[in-house]
Structure 1
Amino acid sequence: MAEVATVGPVGEGGDGDTSVLHQLKVTVDKLYEFRDHYFEQHGIDQAAQKAEDVKAEVSKAIKLLDELQEICPNKAQVYMQRGRALNVTSDFDPEALDMLSKAVKLDPSLVEAWNNLGECYWKKGDVEAAKNCFSGALTKSRNKVSLRNLSMVLRQLGTDPVDRLKNIQESVTVAKEAVQLDVNDGTSWFVLGNAYLSVYFSGDQNLQILKQCMSAYNQAEGDVVAKSNPDLHFNKATVLRYEEQFQLALMHWDQASALDPTWDQPSMKQTQLLTYLSKVADMVHHKGKLKAKRLQSMLKSLSEKDLGPYGGGSFESSTGKKVPLESTTLANLATGLNKNKLVLGKVVCSVTTEETIPFTFALTDKEGTCFAVTLYNVAPNYGTIVGDSVAIPEPFLQHVDFQHKDKKFQFSLIRVETPLVLVVNSRKLGLDKQAPTVLACTTMSE
C-alpha cells in the first residue's frame, strides 16, 4: 500500500486532527480498493491467491492505523476505521464487531459505521441485528449501501410464506431506490437483480421477471467492481439456465469458478446442467427408449378427441377473446412463438433431476418427430406420464445446438410457461396443477 503523508501537529478540532482523520480514512479506503480492483492488477490465474493477498494488506493497514490512532483524539473515527479494515474480508471478525460497536456508541451519527456493523452481524448470522443497523442508518441518511444491504437482509426474514413474500417484494423496492441514488453502481444493480431472482423463486416463475433480473445483472457487469464478483456470474448463470440459454449459463459458471477457485458451487451447478442436458438429448434422440411396437401403438391412438376443448379449432384467451388454432406437426413449427398453431403428441418419457423447475418430458407426434417440453409453474408432485396425450397451443420453440468442451448437445425444445394452457388426455388442466405462490428456494449468496 502507498505511504501516507507525514502527520502534522495535532490539536482538538485543528488542522492536525483533520489530517490524521483523512489519513485514517485513506488507509482503509486503499484497502477496499485493493480488494475490489484486484483483477485489474493481477491475472485471473492468481484468483486463488486473492484472499491471502487481501489479508496481507489488512495486516499492513492495521500497523499503520496503530501508529495513527495514537495521535488521533477522535476515538469514534479510530474505532470505525479499524473496524472497517478488519471487516474487509468475507469472514466474521469479532474484533471488527467490537470496534464498530464502540464507534456507534461514541457517535451514533456515523452511517458508515452502522453499515459496517450491520455487515458484521450479517456475517455472524444475526440477521435481525443486521436489519436494525441498516434500518437505523437509513433514519440518518438515505444511502445506497444501507438500502441494498437491507434488501439482502429482508429476503432472509420471515418464517411464514406470506411474510416472506412480502419481505421479498419490499426488498425489490429498496433495491430500486439504491439504484436510483447511483445508477452507475454495479453492486446496487447486482442486488436488485438478486431481488428479482428471489421473486422468481418465490413461486412466480414468470419469464418477464427473469428478463428484469437479467437486465439488472447486465447493468452490474458494466461496473468493473461488480464484474469481478463471482456471485454475479453465478447468479447470472442461474437466470440464463432458466431462460434456457444453456451455453451462456455454462460460460458464466466457468467465470464464477475462475474468479473463486475455492468455491465448489459453480462447478456443481455446471455438472447438474450438463447431466440434465445429456438426459434430455438422449431421451429425445431415442424417443424415450420405448420399444418400436409400443411407440407405434401409442402414436396410432392419437385422434381429434385428444385435443379436447381445442378440437373446435380455437381457444379462449384470458381476456375472453376467441383465438383460432390450426393443428400442425412438430416438424413444421418455426423457431420462436408459433401463433395460432397447435401441436399434439404422446409423452414418451420424463426427465428426473435434482431441480424441480422445470418439469421436463419428451413429446412425439404422429409423424414420429420427438421434441423436449419444459413445463414451468407446475404444482409439486404433478407431471405427465408415459402414454399421456398432450396438446400445446401456440408453442414456443427453440433449437439447442452447441458444444461445451467435449460434449455436444442437439435437440429441439418447446417451453410452456404454465400448465393451464395444456390439454392432457383430452382435458384442460385446472388450477390445482399450477404452482401456488410460495417460497420454493432461496437465492445464492451476495
Structure 2
Amino acid sequence: MNSYHENKKHDDLNNVISEDVLKILNERVCTLYHFRDHYFENHDLNDSINRNRDIEVELQETLALFTKYKDCIENSVRAKYYYLRGRALNVVPRYSKEAEDLLSKAIKLDPKLVEAWNELGECYWKNDNLKEATNCFNKALLYEKNKISLRNLSMLARQNSASNQEERQKNIETGLNYAKDAVQLDPHDGLSWAILANAHLSSFFGVTQNPKTLKQCLSAYTQAEKDIVAKTTPDLHYNKGITLKYEEEFKLALESFNNASLYDPVWEPPKIKKKQLLKYLNDINELVSTSGKMKAKKLTQLLQSIDSKQLGPYSGGSYTSSSGQTVKLEETCINDLKAGINEEKVVLGKVVCSVHCEDAVPFTFCLVDRLGTCVAVTVYNFAEGKGVIIGDSVAIPEPYITDVNFEYSDKVRIGKLLLIMFLCLIKLKGEYKFRLIRVETPLVLVVNSKKLTRDKQAGVQMSIFKKFD
C-alpha cells in the first residue's frame, strides 16, 4: 500500500515537472514567433537582409532548449511537446520532414489538438502537398472554428485547379467566404484582412468585373496595415502593388513593390514587377509623345482617314443599349475630355501602335484623334490574340480619363564591394505624363464601324502571391 502511494506521488510530481517544462517551452516558442513577426519593431529596414539568418539563430537556440528538457517529458504531455517542437521548426518558410513527423505524432496522441492540425497543414503545404494540407485545415475546423484554418483554406481554395470557368469561379467564391469568416472571427488580425484583400482581387478577375471590388481590395489592405505583423510582410505590399497597378495608380504601385523588396531584399517577384511596370510606363510615355513613332506621312494619312461614319452604332447622336435604353453620345476630341468619366461623349480615333505588357493585361494601345492628339488606351478582358491593330478605327463611348502625371525616383545599389566599403545610391528619376483611357471590357468598343462581339472577351488570370512560393 505504501508502495502504491509512493509511486502515485512520484507520478504526480513528474506530471507537475512536465507541465512546468511545457510552460517553459511554450513561452520560448512564443518568443521565437514574436521575434520573427515583430522583427522590424526592433530592427532597422537595413537589417532585413539579416532577418532570416537571425531567425535561424533563434530557432537553433529554441531547439537546444527542447533537447535539454526532452527527458523531463512524461507520456501524458508528449503530444504537446511534439506539437511545440514541430511548431518551432515551422517558423521558417522551408519544408521540414522532422516537423511533419513530430506533428503527425502529436495528432495521433491527441487528435483534438487543433494547433497541431494547423501546423501539420503548413508542413504539407510547404512540401506542395495541397490535398493533405486542405485535409488538415478542415480537420482542425471540425474541432474548433479558428481564423488560421479559415484563411489557409481561403488561399488553398483559390489555388485549386479547375477544369472549367464555372468550377474556377466556385473555388474563388469559396475562398472569399473563408476569408470573410476569418476576419469576422478576429477583426483586428491584419493577416486575415490581407487574405480577404487577395480573395477580393481574385473575385474581381475571376467572377465579376465590378470596379468597386478593387476598392474593397485596397480597403482591406489598409485594414491589414494597421497590424504591425501584417504590415511588415512583403507579400502584402506585393499583392497591394498588383491591385494598385490594375487600379492604374502607378506611382503607388511602384512604391508598394519597393516596400515589398525592403522587407525581403532577396525575394525576386517584387523587383521583377517593378522593373516591368517601369518599362511599361516608359514605353507609354515615349509612344504617346511620338504618336507611336509613326512617320509623319503615314500619320497624316491616318488622320485624314478618320470619318464619323466609323462610329458605327454610336453615330447619329445616340445609341440604344442591349437593355433598350437610349444613350446620348456626342463625338468629342481627346483634348476636350475631362478627368474621370465623360458621360454622353464618344471619342473616335486611329490605332497608331500597341504597347507591350509582360502580363498581357491590360491590352494597351495608342490612339490619335482627327486633331492628332495621342492618348494611351488600356482595355481589360481582351481575349488572347483579339486586340486591335495599327490602322484600326476605334470608338470609345463615355471614356474614363486618367491624367497620369508624376515623378518616380528609383534607388539602385551598385557593386558587391560596396557591402564592405560603402553604399552608393544613384537616383534614377523618371517623369511620367500622359492621358489614359481605361476600358473595362472590349464589348463597349466599336472597331472599324462594328461593335465587338463576345468572342473578343476573356477572363483574366491574376499573379497573386502564392504562399511558400
Alignment of 1:374-389 (within 5 A): 374-389=378-393
Q: Given that residues 198 and 442 in structure 1 are in contact (C-alpha distance below 8 angstroms), is that contact kept between their aligned partners in structure 2?
A: no
Q: Distance in 2 between matches of 1:431 and 1:182?
A: 42
Q: Distance in 1 between matches of 2:326 and 2:13?
A: 80
Q: Given that residues 318 and 329 in structure 2 are in contact (C-alpha distance below 8 angstroms), is that contact kept between their aligned partners in structure 1?
A: yes
Select the residue among 455, 459, 463 that pairs with 1:432.
Answer: 455
Q: Distance in 2 between matches of 1:150 and 1:292?
A: 57
- Offset, 1:316: 2.8
Moved more, 426-435 or 154-163: 154-163
Q: Which residue of 1 aligns with 2:319?
A: 315
Q: Which residue of 1 aligns with 2:50?
A: 49
Q: Which residue of 2 aligns with 1:444?
A: 465
TM-score (norm 2): 0.90
> Is 1:348 the counterpart of 2:352 in the alignment?
yes
Alignment of 1:4-403 (within 5 A): 11=12, 15-73=16-74, 74-161=77-164, 162-202=166-206, 204-317=208-321, 319-403=323-407
Q: Given that residues 203 and 377 in structure 1 are in contact (C-alpha distance below 8 angstroms), is that contact kept between their aligned partners in structure 2?
A: no
- Identity of aligned pairs, percent? 50
Flag the 1:128–1:391 CA change in 2: closer, same or farther, 3 A.
same
Q: Which residue of 1 aligns with 2:422?
A: none
- Offset, 1:14: 5.8
Q: Given that residues 205 and 377 in structure 1 are in contact (C-alpha distance below 8 angstroms), is that contact kept between their aligned partners in structure 2?
A: no
Moved more, 186-195 or 315-324: 315-324
Flag the 1:180–1:266 CA change in 2: closer, same or farther, 3 A.
same
Secondary structure in structure 2 of the residue aligned to 1:412: strand
Q: Distance in 1 between matches of 2:208 and 2:385?
A: 17
Relative contact order higher in (CA < 8 Å, ≥ 6 apart): 1
Secondary structure in structure 2 of the residue aligned to 1:82: helix
For structure 2, list consecutive stretches of 5 or more residues without a partner in the other structure.
Answer: 1-9, 410-428
- Offset, 1:64: 1.5
Number of residue pairs aligned between Structure 1 and Structure 2 = 436
Q: Distance in 2 between matches of 1:344 and 1:192?
A: 40
Residues 132-174 of structure 1 show CA distances to partners (whole Å, capped at 9, x for unaligned) of: 0000100111100000011111122224134333212101111
Q: Which residue of 2 aligns with 1:413?
A: 436
Flag the 1:353–1:442 CA change in 2: closer, same or farther, 3 A.
closer
TM-score (norm 1): 0.94
Q: Given that residues 205 and 376 in structure 1 are in contact (C-alpha distance below 8 angstroms), is that contact kept between their aligned partners in structure 2?
A: no
- Offset, 1:440: 2.6
Secondary structure in structure 2 of the residue aligned to 1:374: strand
- Offset, 1:39: 0.3
Q: Distance in 2 between matches of 1:344 and 1:300?
A: 13
Query: What is the identity, as a one-letter code, of the residue corresponding to 2:289?
Result: H
Flag the 1:220–1:294 CA change in 2: closer, same or farther, 3 A.
same
Moved more, 371-380 or 347-356: 347-356
Q: Distance in 2 between matches of 1:215 and 1:296?
A: 46
For structure 1, list consecutive stretches of 5 or more residues without a partner in the other structure.
Answer: 1-8
Q: Given that residues 346 and 363 in structure 1 are in contact (C-alpha distance below 8 angstroms), is that contact kept between their aligned partners in structure 2?
A: yes
